[in-house]
Amino acid sequence: ELKVEQNPLFLSMQEGKNYTIYCNYSTTSDRLYWYRQDPGKSLESLFVLLSNGAVKQEGRLMASLDTKARLSTLHITAAVHDLSATYFCAAEYGNKLVFGAGTILRVKS
Amino acid sequence: SAVISQKPSRDICQRGTSLTIQCQVDSQVTMMFWYRQQPGQSLTLIATANQGSEATYESGFVIDKFPISRPNLTFSTLTVSNMSPEDSSIYLCSVDMVALGDTQYFGPGTRLTVL
């Protein structure tokens, strides 16, 4: 059974600093997804990582995938207030997504 | 990309009643999924809905409680039957566009409160 562990569950960040969210999954996965959820909103797709060594970047966010370690990271560079949200990773197996618990991210000025 | 709409966006229901949630997609998709997000929690897959076949339910979810219809490639419904307060959650549908080099998209969700 595929299980996904995400940490930290809560991240209080200072503006301008760098942080990383970690996502471990227990068995082979087809793809790794990162989503953002704002309060009261649905999920916004950030990244889909398909293969070992994949790295994708969008603005201040960069996601990477190490399939051998079964680890994905979401790196935040120079945090800004607009990044405050809940971030989920999800591992896919057979088109089904198994989600991590989510990381609540708060950026303080 | 895919644009997904859900109806209703929210509802408050009485214990013992049923609610049907609709999910409409702006393009034809093979696979649609229904997820539940309990308050303050992550998302859990309820079932996979493929057109022309019975829905496939995940462990802990049964057809009598969550009947699903998939009459065509752009539409699906999820019914939450005989509701109890424990069913209060956000219910989201999603579609798989990965075969097109895209991602899995989620609808806006239906926020259900059971009194």
CA distance A48 to chain B (A): 7
Residue B12: which pLDDT band, with cuts at 50, 70 and 90?
very high
Q: How many domains, chain A?
A: 1
- The β-bridge partners of A90 are A33, A99
Q: What is the CATH number of the domain that holds B34?
A: 2.60.40.10
SS3 B22: strand
Are B112 and B13 contacting, i.e. CB atoms less than 8 angstroms apart? yes
Residues in chain A: 109
- Is residue B31 within 8 angstroms of chain A, CB to CB? yes
Q: Which of B41, B45, B107 sits opposite A97 (nearest CB)?
A: B45
Q: Which pLDDT band, with edges at 50, 70 and 90, does B94 fall under?
A: very high
β-bridge partners, A108? A14
The enclosing domain of A34 has a CATH number of 2.60.40.10
- Determine the residue of chain B that is closest to A99 in CA distance: B43
Containing structural domain, residue B54: 4-104
Chain B partners within 8 Å of A43 (Cβ): 43, 92, 106
Summarised one tens digit per residue, pLDDT across range A35-69 is 999 998 999 999 999 888 889 999 999 999 999 99
* Phi, psi (deg, nearest 5) at residue A70: 55, 50
When pLDDT is cut at 50, 70 and 90, the band that residue B74 belongs to is very high
Average pLDDT over residues B68-86: 96
> Which carries the bigger pLDDT value, residue A98 or residue B100?
A98
Contacts of B48 in chain A (CB under 8 A): 95-96
Number of domains composing chain B: 1
Q: How many CA atoms within 13 Å lie on the side-chain side of A46?
A: 29
Mean pLDDT along residues B11-16? 97
Q: Is A36 on the interface with B (CB under 8 A)?
A: no
Q: Is residue B95 part of a domain?
A: yes
> What's the number of CA atoms in the CB half-sphere (13 Å) around residue A61?
19
- Its domain, for residue A46, covers 4-108
Inside any domain, residue B112: no
Question: Does residue A88 belong to the interface with chain B, where contact is any CB pair within 8 Å?
Answer: yes
B interface test, pick of A43, A56, A58 with most B CB neighbours within 10 Å: A43
Q: Is B44 within 8 Å of A99 when comparing Cβ atoms?
A: yes
Interface membership of A109 toward B (CB under 8 Å):
no
Residue B92 and residue B37 in contact, taking contact as beta carbons nearer than 8 Å? yes
Domain annotation covers residue B99: yes
CB pairs A-B closer than 8 Å: 47
| Tokens (6 digits) for B81 | 């039957």
Mean pLDDT of B71-90: 96
Pairwise CA distance, residues B103 & B99, whole Å: 8
Residue B113 lies in a domain: no
